[in-house]
Amino acid sequence: MSEEPLASENPVGFPSPGMRTLLTLFLFFHFFAILAGIAGNFGARSGLRRQLRASPGVQPYLHTLGIDTGYGYGLISNTADDLDHLCQIVVNPPVQFEGTADEMENVQKINLIPDAARAWGMQKRRYLTLASWLAALQGDNNEEANLVSAIAGGMLQRAEVESGTHRFFCRVQQTQDMISLDEIEPELQNPNHPRWFDTVYDADLIFEDDHWSPSKRGGSGEMTQSRSKSNRRRNR
Amino acid sequence: METLSIGQYFSRLANAFGKGWTRFWYLPSDPFPLCLMRILVGIFSLCFILSYTEDLSYFFAQGGLLSLELTEQYPPFNATYNPAVFSYFSYLHSPLELHIAHWIGIVILCLFTIGWHSRITAVLGLFVILSYIHRAPLITSEIEPLLAAIQFYLCFGPCGARLSVDRYLAKRKMPIMPQSEQDRGGKFFSATLSTRLIQIHLCIIAAMMGIAKLSGPGELTGGGEWVDPWGVGEAVWWMIARPQTRIFEGLTSLRDYPYLIAAWTHIILLVELVFPILIWNRLARPLVLAIAFVAWGSLLLISGIGPFYALLIIGCISFFHPQFIEFWTSKLMRTKSLEQLDPATSVQG
């Protein structure tokens, strides 16, 4: 790196050559780490991309700064990831409780998202993110059960419910297709109508060994939002 | 045309690259944009931390939603796996302890925002923000990595050199600027370094967001034929249609204007793809910034991650010319009026 021409142009205020070298080394490492983090987190991950992210110091550096991400913020992908997930506990449901809309009207419910959470706020985003983790972990029985146990435990503690047998639901809220409200059934014009919801996780909560354990009943499993061309034509 | 030997060519190439690199990263510049960003990022960080107040015990206290045992099941955030991932909340369990730490964090960020000992409070502010992120990785979304990155970059620059309590106190103590300061003309190489880091990071984020929208989801499940919402121009509608994060019910009436929805969708996509390239062209920059502000401003309303886009817009201040910001700031504050600026100087070179 040539210093003299720069020094003659503006000698005041430049860092010393030694400092410049150190900063340049830092910049190379910093951007290498960021790009390796992106390579390792974005899209399909090949062996090389994983190895890049596993380079010495890269992952600890990115984790420490909280920037280990691929920035793959597609926002909408026409998959189940687009849908909002909502967790709910029904306190002491009747024996033959199936969780239908009519049954839900007459039971005590605890919602994960506080009623006061604003649509645009960070608070609501946190609860939606937490619920989407549960959807993402479905199928991995250990992690799924641990997460449900923690979420349910927190929800019941906040509601000051210490005993009983309860039901835990994780539901997805479907969104209205791009059609006029006039074209759909009047009752479905309300986005919070029960038919817009689908249960993806359903479990009984039993208190044992100082924590709430879920006993999974099985929901409709992973669901997809994907709209086929034929569906789209029909909807229009 | 001059004929160069291979050795001369590489020597000249290395020389030119070195000069360009040094000028790009270290040429001293006015820290005014950085100082304005300090205030805005400080306010944003305060909102971020304050939004935890209601849920602090619910999330982090013993028996709360996010017990320490649960967080530590995820290896990247496990202190045994990675000792550098530190959060003081990991050592606090009672609601009282949590709230004391929470309010100390708020005080630190207030001091950072007003610019009191900015060099120290910037680093402490980063520590505070990271403590929340590391304690609760399961509830972090798109917002946190960008906030942490910008706060980290602000630690490098003299973000308290202007518009700050530090500046006010220094002026009161020494009304006449010392000779060394006068020689420097109020410019700092660290301001350039910090600003460039923010600029490049924003370009990387914009590029990856654009590529993510083009490439679609990583894997598809279910048997249905997949339709690309960004390709067909319906992505904006699907964001508006999500009831949980809808701000204005009135936006749903846009379903009757599919061409408007498609144009809106494609403008967002276009901005994210061209931003990282055209933002470096001096003539194109004002236009790119204006369109980006509109596109990201609209996503602020419909995406469900509005704070992320607000922060992205705040980050774009790094592309503005210090004089331009100073002109508008002083105009807003009506303390002094500068000469009319040439529009070409409205963005940083």
Its pTM surpasses 0.90:
no
Which of A144-153, B169-178, B252-261 shows the lowest mean pLDDT across its residues? B169-178
B6 within a domain of the structure (yes/no)? no
Residue A217: name the closest of A201, A231, A235 by CA: A201
Tokens of A173: 């809220």
Which of A14-18, B159-163, B236-240, B252-256 shows the lowest mean pLDDT across its residues? B252-256
* Statement to judge: residues B293 and B194 lie in one domain: yes
Beta carbons of B144 and A66 less than 8 Å apart = yes
Q: Which of B143, B197, B301 sits opposite A122 (nearest CB)?
A: B143
Q: Give the model's pLDDT for residue B278.
A: 95
Strands A165-173 vs A84-91: parallel, antiparallel or unpaired: antiparallel
* Statement to judge: residues B194 and B338 lie in one domain: yes
Interface pTM, i.e. ipTM: 0.88
Question: In which band, very low, low, confident or very high, does the pLDDT at B221 lie, cut at 50, 70 and 90?
Answer: low
Beta carbons of A120 and B238 less than 8 Å apart = no
Any chain A CB within 8 A of the CB of B262?
Answer: no
- B45/chain A closest Cα distance in angstroms: 11
Q: Are residues B70 and A143 in contact, defined by beta-carbon separation less than 8 angstroms?
A: no
Beta carbons of A71 and B208 less than 8 Å apart = yes
Contacts of residue A68 in chain B, CB cutoff 8 Å?
A: 76, 145
* Statement to judge: residues B130 and B252 lie in one domain: no
Which of A3-17, A118-132, B128-142, B266-280 shows the lowest mean pLDDT across its residues? A3-17
Tokens of B73: 């099941």
B78 within a domain of the structure (yes/no)? yes
Summarize the confidence of residues A65-85 as an average pLDDT.
Answer: 87
Question: In which band, very low, low, confident or very high, does the pLDDT at A229 lie, cut at 50, 70 and 90?
Answer: very low
Residue A129: name the closest of B244, B246, B217, B60 by CA: B244
- A179/chain B closest Cα distance in angstroms: 7
B264 within a domain of the structure (yes/no)? yes
B294 within a domain of the structure (yes/no)? yes
B18 within a domain of the structure (yes/no)? no
Q: Are residues B232 and A92 in contact, defined by beta-carbon separation less than 8 angstroms?
A: no
B183 within a domain of the structure (yes/no)? no
Summarize the confidence of residues A151-158 as an average pLDDT.
Answer: 88
Q: Which of B218, B225, B306 sits opposite A228 (nearest CB)?
A: B225
* Statement to judge: residues B245 and B286 lie in one domain: yes
pLDDT at residue A34 tops 90: yes
User: Per mean pLDDT, which of A214-228, B243-257, B264-278, B316-330 is the most reliable?
Assistant: B264-278
Beta carbons of A151 and B143 less than 8 Å apart = no
Contacts of residue A176 in chain B, CB cutoff 8 Å?
A: 241, 252
Number of independent structural domains in chain B = 2
Question: In which band, very low, low, confident or very high, does the pLDDT at B170 lie, cut at 50, 70 and 90?
Answer: confident
Summarize the confidence of residues B26-39 as an average pLDDT.
Answer: 93
B221 within a domain of the structure (yes/no)? no
Best mutation target, B68, B205, B242, to test chain A (most A CBs within 10 A): B242
* Statement to judge: residues B47 and B134 lie in one domain: yes
Contacts of residue A207 in chain B, CB cutoff 8 Å?
A: none
Cβ-Cβ contacts under 8 Å for A198 (sequence gap 6 or more): A171, A172, A174, A220, A223
Which of B4-13, B111-120, B259-268 shows the lowest mean pLDDT across its residues? B4-13
* Statement to judge: residues B298 and B164 lie in one domain: no
Contacts of residue B49 in chain A, CB cutoff 8 Å?
A: none
Q: Give the model's pLDDT for residue A75.
A: 87
* Statement to judge: residues B72 and B35 lie in one domain: yes
* Statement to judge: residues B40 and B120 lie in one domain: yes
Any chain A CB within 8 A of the CB of B343?
Answer: no
Any chain A CB within 8 A of the CB of B298?
Answer: no
A114-126 tens-digit pLDDT: 888 887 788 899 9
* Statement to judge: residues B156 and B39 lie in one domain: yes
* Statement to judge: residues B301 and B200 lie in one domain: yes
Rounded to whole angstroms, the Cα distance separating A79 from A90 reads 28
Q: By residue range, what is the domain housing residue B244?
A: 188-216+228-349
**Chain position carrying tokens 């074209």:** A183
- B250/chain A closest Cα distance in angstroms: 13
Q: Give the model's pLDDT for residue B110.
A: 96
* Statement to judge: residues B161 and B194 lie in one domain: no
* Statement to judge: residues B212 and B330 lie in one domain: yes
